[in-house]
């Protein structure tokens, strides 16, 4: 069957199922469970109105339970067990966590993730804020914003392939197709560098990819926040003789502080889950391992589901507090 036709059939079945579910469930509620007639008509109507919202929420709650809650519980169970020969699992308690904590690669992943957490959210937010401020002051700002935001439309793997070509190294004496090495040779370098194999610094070369992608996201959110600042405060600062830098740092930034924090924490969550970039560019080699790639290596390469699941639980535990704080802060702003 043609993929387009299959997609159309799937959409039709999905939409029809949703409409059928809502129609039939409401019909059952009003005609069978709590019919609005007889001596208890008023009470039945009230009960039906109390249950009706849950009928609409049930499909979403079911999907969340199936695709979010169940995998979390199952991953926790797997992290406390190990596979045995011949199939099946046996309970090992926290042995998988002990093994994980004893492996140098895990601590390398933790160290690199912490480095990513320090650099990427800070640089992405700073560049995004700078771009938002500058593009609002020029006539062709919307074009500039479109170009800066464009990397957000590229998948992480696609962006990794692009930047891998930027860092590409060919033998000395041949034409360099990698932009970085071409510039390095042009400025007087003698030997091209394999940038992604240089320990410690190669982590920063990988971070550039995520900063390049996330700067557009930060710019769009912060640009909207800057435009929401009351003009009266800026005009008052100008009348008082404040310089453009003073207006930016002492008037604008304090008023969008909460938005900056939301952008920062959102990018932080993305950083904690980073996998595609490392997998596509170095595969965790040359001291570039991160937690998500470590989990993948253990679970699907070493076939060690216990330790791999333990790594997944560590990622979830690191992400959860930031996610909860982000949601609570967003709700406060909405109020």
93-101 — which CB contacts under 8 Å span 24+ positions?
95/306, 96/306, 96/307, 96/309, 96/310, 97/310, 99/307, 100/307, 100/310, 100/311, 100/314
Mean pLDDT of 70-75: 88
- Given a cut of 70, whether residue 334 has pLDDT beyond it is no
Rounded Cα–Cα distance for residues 82 and 93 (Å): 9
* pLDDT number for residue 214: 92
Residue 1 has pLDDT above 70, yes or no: no
Res 66 pLDDT > 80: yes
Q: Which two tokens stand for residue 208?
A: 């550039």
Percent of the chain with pLDDT over 70: 98
Q: Rg (Cα) of the chain, in Å, rounded?
A: 27
CA proximity to 132, closest of 61, 26, 229? 229
The overall average pLDDT reported for the chain is 86
CA atoms within 13 A on the CB side of 298: 27
Average pLDDT (245-253) is 84
pLDDT confidence of residue 333: 67
In the predicted model, what is the mean pLDDT of residues 261-275? 88
- Residue 335 pLDDT: 66
Which span out of 41-50, 91-100, 108-117, 255-264 was modeled with the highest average pLDDT? 108-117
Residue 202 has pLDDT above 70, yes or no: yes
Angle (nearest 5°) at CA 273 between 160 and 279? 35
**Exposed / middle / buried, residue 300 (Cβ in 10 Å: 0-12, 13-18, 19+):** exposed
- pLDDT digits 0-9 by tens, 137-178: 777 878 888 888 888 888 888 899 999 888 888 887 777 788
Q: What is the mean pLDDT of residues 229-242?
A: 83
pTM for this model (two decimals): 0.80
What's the pLDDT at 68? 85
What band does 206 get if pLDDT is binned at 50, 70 and 90? Answer: very high
Give me the mean pLDDT over the 307-314 stretch: 90
Nearest CA to 155 among 277, 266, 269, 319? Answer: 277
Task: Tell me what pLDDT residue 108 has.
Answer: 92
Assign 87 to helix, strand or coil. coil
Rounded Cα gap, residues 76 and 73, in angstroms: 5
State pLDDT tens for residues 276-304: 899 999 988 888 999 999 999 888 888 88
pLDDT tens for each residue of 114-139: 999 999 999 999 999 998 888 877 77
pLDDT attached to residue 145? 84
Looking at residue 261, its pLDDT comes to 87
Structure tokens at 328: 């609570």
CA separation for the pair 325, 181 (Å, rounded): 43
């Amino acid at each position: 069957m043609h993929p387009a036709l299959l997609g159309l059939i799937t959409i039709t079945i999905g939409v029809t199922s949703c409409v059928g579910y809502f129609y039939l469930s409401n019909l059952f509620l009003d005609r069978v469970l709590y019919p609005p007639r007889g001596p208890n008509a008023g009470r039945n109507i009230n009960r039906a109105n109390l249950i009706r919202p849950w009928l609409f929420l049930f499909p979403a709650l079911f999907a969340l339970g199936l695709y979010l809650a169940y995998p979390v519980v199952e991953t926790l169970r797997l992290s406390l067990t190990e596979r045995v020969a011949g199939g099946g699992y046996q309970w090992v308690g926290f042995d998988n966590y002990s093994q994980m904590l004893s492996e140098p690669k895990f601590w390398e992943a933790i160290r690199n993730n912490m480095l990513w957490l320090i650099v990427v959210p800070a640089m992405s937010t700073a560049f995004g804020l700078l771009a938002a401020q500058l593009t609002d002051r020029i006539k062709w700002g919307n074009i500039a914003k479109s170009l800066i935001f464009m990397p957000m439309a590229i998948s992480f793997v696609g962006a990794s392939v692009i930047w891998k070509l930027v860092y590409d190294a060919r033998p000395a004496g041949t034409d360099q197709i990698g932009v970085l090495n071409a510039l390095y040779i042009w400025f007087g370098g003698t030997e091209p560098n394999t940038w992604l194999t240089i320990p410690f610094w190669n982590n920063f070369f990988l971070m550039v990819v995520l900063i390049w992608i996330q700067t557009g996201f930060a710019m769009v959110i912060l640009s909207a926040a800057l435009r929401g600042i009351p003009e009266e405060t800026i005009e008052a600062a100008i009348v008082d003789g404040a310089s453009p830098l003073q207006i930016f740092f002492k008037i604008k930034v304090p008023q969008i502080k909460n938005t900056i924090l939301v952008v920062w924490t959102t990018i932080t969550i993305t950083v904690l889950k980073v996998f595609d970039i490392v997998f596509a560019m170095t595969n965790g080699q040359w001291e570039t391992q991160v937690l998500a790639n470590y989990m993948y290596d253990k679970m699907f390469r070493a076939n060690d589901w216990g330790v791999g699941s333990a790594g997944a639980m560590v990622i979830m535990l690191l992400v959860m507090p930031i996610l909860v704080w982000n949601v609570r802060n967003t709700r406060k702003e909405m109020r």
